[in-house]
Structure 1
Amino acid sequence: MDYWNADGAGCALLKTIGAGILGGVSSWEGALKGAASAATSAPLTPAIADLVKGIPGMSSILLENMISDFKSSNNKK
């Protein structure tokens, strides 16, 4: 595992620090929540991507849902 790959420790650490800084704009509680969220989700992202790739047609279904959600959110404005 390379340090700066998507599943590397460096990438997870960078995301954790960034989320802590951005979450800390409002409060220390936000900083802790942001850092904790990034620290737990960063290592799981490649595994989730592999699961989605393993389900036939799932990538296209997710893409269609994302496009639909984007269009509906822009129509509300």
Structure 2
Amino acid sequence: MHLAELLKYLLHQLQTGQPISVAPTDELELRAAAAWLGISPSELVRLGEEGLLPSHQVESRLVLYREDVQA
């Protein structure tokens, strides 16, 4: 995720009262991974469900490893 996208995302979260989470550097949450790849979060979910992109659930969140997203 580029710095400008990150700042825009953080500002949106703060303005709308949404939580901001900090994940370990080797993992990306759904929105961050989708932004990194330039696709919608729903498209990323589809890729994960079809086994085209490795992902796993952490509680109710879809999480991907940074190395899988960057590959």
TM value normalised by structure 1: 0.28
Larger Rg: 1
TM value normalised by structure 2: 0.30
- Greater fraction strand: 2
- Greater fraction helix: 1
